[in-house]
A and B are shown apart, each in its own frame.
Chain A
């Protein structure tokens, strides 16, 4: 079936709401407005105000309420409009959701799912364009996932809702309008393994979320000159699937991490360090990364695009790593 990523997430939420009466959606403008990115459009009419619950602009209270409702036996899906606004509820996520199980000696679990839009590219300037996934991926007690394919956008939510611990789903805003063919039988059964999206022997391109599209385009471009890149879609940002990453890097002996987070302290840096620790002697070239320039995302399109990872940057970085300066 042909559908957009937006429709895929909506279908996933509709299915969850139909199948489990404990599931409800809560967030700013998820109901009457239909969702800031129109992901929940139509769900209010179908499921009513109790289960498609508009909230005030009180991120800390409604995310905390999601955590409390999860403790109380529900399976809340809480939509935080964008990761930028999630800083207003960082305390609830890091100090409560991630710690309750531990502080209680295993007595309380927090089965809440938080959905957040992330990423730049739409000229929304410095307060609506950041990619802070790695902040959350830093925190023990949280699971962090990032669907990059239509199938994952459709299938990951169900697995996340079955998880007894807090799961954060990062949805890159550039994906929502993309269309694709969704298989009739979506069978996403786990959310912890990375996936090899293209095989190749010369270099590993390791990415996630909205940058998978760019990495695959870069691989196509490289293929024209005989360079076969392997493209790894992390899918899970915490935990990281070391095994899949290392298997690929041991084969290709070269790796580039592509990450829309800022260069310093990025997920790319973490992955590079893991490769250094565990596959140093298998490498034929220094590790490299393509990240966002260390500047708050600028408004003008040419500057915004210059700040972000691009297909051309990935291609030229790959040639550099391979020693083919073009």
Chain B
């Protein structure tokens, strides 16, 4: 793993703290709202892994594309989708960033080229290949960043996609968020080789393992990788070693890991460790921290109010968004049955 950079400016330090805290507090609120049955379906929280999205996504240009998974709330927020639109989507309201049709696992936003929210493990990798291929063929100087968990490594699409990216020299940044568990299956119980970045190397892709609990390390690695991609027109791969503090989803009783293990990882919390370091270096004060908490709390309060005030799409619109032009005319609604002749 790369050496940890130690110094950071006050401005950058505060920004990272705010970004990670916004994700953390939003996710905590989501868990609460799930308990109140405001959010339904599957809900996968990013708590513990915030440093990855906060360290990578702000380094992207506006024209770059992001492909993410079903644990993508933090990525969407970092990409600039408003918390209002994210929460409204989780409520299933029309004002959501996917019009309410997608929910927690399918956040989309064309304006920021945020291409989902894919809930099929590894399903987003081929999509990222195609987006990058289109950029390359159109000579667009853009990068596609593809986030996925270490569970995706066991899928054939992971290997097919890495091979294509290397074979065609496509501008893709693969970011593997290795949180050690594919739902409840530990990495060592599912992979013969657990050093994931080595698998990427075997395809001839520049690949690095990174301390995913440290936003500075993440950011440094992301900058280097993006620079390499942009200047050399090649793919790059980052294995972010991280951990989710919460269950896989709200239905998960967590029978597969020891509480002590979770507690040990919590000692590495990306927010508390950065906060402690910045305070020790006397870069920030307790007042700064209080102000950040307040900013995040106010944003969340406003987002909940926005989602609450949102509207349910009329049932008459059910058949929309299946085909582009027709809305509801191309595939006719179920025809009635013939009435008997007199």
Specify which of B128, B320, B322 is in contact with A68 (CB 8 Å cutoff): B128
A147 interface residue, CB < 8 Å from B? no
Specify which of A56, A67, A143, A239 is in contact with B127 (CB 8 Å cutoff): A67
Residues on B with beta carbons closer than 8 Å to the beta carbon of A103: 98, 101-102, 106, 108, 116-117
- What 0/1 readout, one digit per residue, does chain A (95-120) give for beta carbons within 8 Å of chain B? 11000111111111100000000000
B299 interface residue, CB < 8 Å from A? no
Knowing A104-B102, A164-B324 touch, does A68 contact B126 (C-beta < 8 A)? yes
> Min CB distance, B307 to chain A, in Å?
15
* Distance, CA A72 to CA B137, complexed state (A): 10
Chain B, Cβ-Cβ closest to A56: B163
Specify which of A64, A72, A192, A279 is in contact with B338 (CB 8 Å cutoff): A279
Residues on B with beta carbons closer than 8 Å to the beta carbon of A73: 134, 138
B48 interface residue, CB < 8 Å from A? no
* Distance, CA A129 to CA B106, complexed state (A): 37
10 A-B interface contacts by CB (under 8 A): A24-B137, A58-B164, A64-B123, A69-B137, A71-B115, A72-B65, A101-B324, A105-B96, A105-B101, A278-B335
Residues on A with beta carbons closer than 8 Å to the beta carbon of B100: 105
Please state if A101 and B321 are interface contacts (CB–CB under 8 Å).
Answer: yes
Chain B, Cβ-Cβ closest to A70: B130
Specify which of A65, A109, A278, A279 is in contact with B130 (CB 8 Å cutoff): A65
* Distance, CA A281 to CA B120, complexed state (A): 46
Residues on A with beta carbons closer than 8 Å to the beta carbon of B102: 103-105
* Distance, CA A278 to CA B321, complexed state (A): 27
Please state if B123 and A74 are interface contacts (CB–CB under 8 Å).
Answer: no
Q: Which of B233-241, B289-297, B325-333 lies at the binding interface?
A: B325-333
* Distance, CA A206 to CA B132, complexed state (A): 43
Closest 6 CB pairs of A and B: A68-B130, A64-B126, A105-B99, A72-B134, A61-B160, A104-B108
Residues on B with beta carbons closer than 8 Å to the beta carbon of A70: 130, 134
A309 interface residue, CB < 8 Å from B? no
Knowing A56-B164, A105-B98 touch, does A242 contact B335 (C-beta < 8 A)? yes
Q: Number of residues in A with C-beta < 8 Å to the partner? A: 52
* Distance, CA A238 to CA B206, complexed state (A): 44
* Segment 312-342 of B: residues with Cβ below 8 Å from A: 320-325, 330-332, 335-338, 340-341
Q: A56-B163, A61-B161, A103-B102 are in contact. List 8 more A-B contacts (CB 8 A).
A: A61-B163, A65-B127, A65-B164, A70-B130, A73-B134, A101-B321, A105-B96, A238-B331
Residues on A with beta carbons closer than 8 Å to the beta carbon of B134: 68-74
> Min CB distance, A53 to chain B, in Å?
8
**Most chain B CB within a 10 A radius of its CB, from A74, A107, A192:** A107
Mark A residues whose CB is within 8 Å of B: 24, 50, 55-56, 58, 60-74, 76, 91-92, 95-96, 100-109, 140-141, 143, 163-165, 192, 238-239, 242, 274, 277-282
Residues on A with beta carbons closer than 8 Å to the beta carbon of B324: 101, 106, 109, 163-165
Please state if A105 and B163 are interface contacts (CB–CB under 8 Å).
Answer: no
Please state if B127 and A68 are interface contacts (CB–CB under 8 Å).
Answer: yes
Please state if A63 and B126 are interface contacts (CB–CB under 8 Å).
Answer: yes
Chain B, Cβ-Cβ closest to A109: B324
Residues on B with beta carbons closer than 8 Å to the beta carbon of A95: 120, 123
Specify which of A71, A107, A108, A280 is in contact with B337 (CB 8 Å cutoff): A280
Residues on A with beta carbons closer than 8 Å to the beta carbon of B115: 71, 108
